[in-house]
Amino acid sequence: MSLKRTTPLASALLLAAALLSPPVVTAAPAGTLAVPDISLANVQAHLNSFQTIANSNGGNRAHGRPGYRASIDYVKAKLDAVGYTTSVQQFTHSGATGYNLIADWPGGDVNNTLMFGGHLDSVAAGPGINDNGTGSAGILEVALTVARENLKPQKHLRFGWWGAEELGLIGSNYYVAQLPAAEKSRIKGYLNFDMIGSPNPGYFVYSASGQPTGSAQLQQTLQAAFSGVVATELTSVGGRSDHAAFARAGIPVGGLFTGAETIKTSAQASKWGGSAGVAFDRCYHRSCDTTANLETTSLDRMSDAIAYSLWTLAGVGTPPASKFENTDDLALPDQATVESPITVSGVAGNAPSALVLGVDITHTYRGDLVIDLVAPDGTAFRVKNSSSDSADNLVTTYTVDASGEAANGVWKLRVRDAGPQDVGTLNSWYLQF
């Protein structure tokens, strides 16, 4: 976490003020693929590599130092090898070149991008294994698991490792500032993971309070990742980490945190174990932040929670709805029957049990209308009978159980005017599978 932070006393007050209500649990959507277990051994292997890099480069992985560039190269090589599209973004701070690493998983809707990130740099005083080798390694292993699973999510997945966070969130601020407005609008959520293996850990979820609209879904998803495993607390991390630039840009944000210099309370020790009256991380920003400065149960749970949030939020296993529409105007003569066709193709198997039919009809007495949806084999599904409803026009949707019908073929909307005097126009209609 960044050096630009509150004092320990202020941090303690922030945590004391955090919302302590029971978590709001949001279950993964029905049909979502099972979330894989993230290998703790693999996460630890990445951390061992970060430690080795620091040992070989003056004991740290700080901005402008060779250990940071070596860390970028390590992560990039892992991602390149499994098919990510990676780019290294350069910036300058305090007379030294800094680097962000961005990795995109091919596929998904780029107009609906979900982003995961954390900072990769350490302070100059030490190797920064908990802060923030842990977040960086957890994100990396989740990204590699995406590749192993050959994941094909609905949303586009992007990962970021930020430079010079410890000097004031420099890398992430630069990344967001360089994005054109259209590119910012494509990012529908950013999740930040900064310190997820503290030796005296807490289980903190970033609070959505005061954050951009849409952040509540991220908060609730991260809370749900721990449901039945361990209790969580909401915490307001303010501008202490790399989510801040995204939040200022109006992008929904969320994240996880196991605690830094703030002291664990007796109540928290009773809930989570560990030592009351001791900092969550006594080696925070010190030379002793090494691979010996970790608690592996929290590291394992937090890494799994990153995967849970990705698999849940990315729309995995539920293909996007296919919509077919006919927008040709069709006159509805008085006391006559007309049909309008739609050709459906490329939809596997049968139609769903909740096929959505949308209609837009201009008419001077909608009670006259009788409407059937006709399947490709001629089966008719009555969706509306005539009635005494004297209101004008009909713009609505219906749900049809068409699960016994093949999806592909020519579907028809049959509209009959069953009463005298009034006429209208079928403006458009659609089917959504």
- Active site residues per annotation: 165
CB 19 within 8 A of CB 207: yes
Beta bridge partners of 208: none
- What is the distance between the alpha carbons of residues 74 and 199, in angstroms, rounded to a whole number? 25
DSSP letter at 36? P
Phi, psi of 290 (to 5 degrees): -115, -175
- What's the CA gap between 158 and 115, in Å, rounded? 5
Tell me the torsion sign for CA atoms 37, 42, 48, 50. Answer: negative
The alpha carbon of residue 209 and the mean position of all alpha carbons in its chain are separated, in whole angstroms, by: 18
CA distance 412 to 401: 16
Is residue 193 within 8 A of residue 200, CB to CB? The reply is no
- Whole-angstrom Cα distance, residue 50 to residue 97? 20
Non-local CB neighbours of 29 within 8 Å, separated by 6+ positions: 312, 315, 318
Q: Kindly state the tokens that stand for 417.
A: 């005017």
d(CA 337, CA 370): 9
Q: Identify the helix (H) or strand (E) that includes residue 326.
A: strand 323-326
The tokens of 180 are what? 């054109």
Angle formed by the axes of helices 40-55 and 66-80, nearest 10° = 150
Q: Which helix (H) or strand (E) holds 305?
A: helix 296-313
- Three-state secondary structure call for residue 170: helix
Q: Are 344 and 408 in contact (CB under 8 A)?
A: yes
- Spell out the SS3 assignment of 215-279: HHHHHHHHHHCCCCCCCCEEECCCCCCCHHHHHHCCCCEEEEECCCCCECCHHHHHHHCCCCCCE
The amino acid present at 294, given as its one-letter code, is L
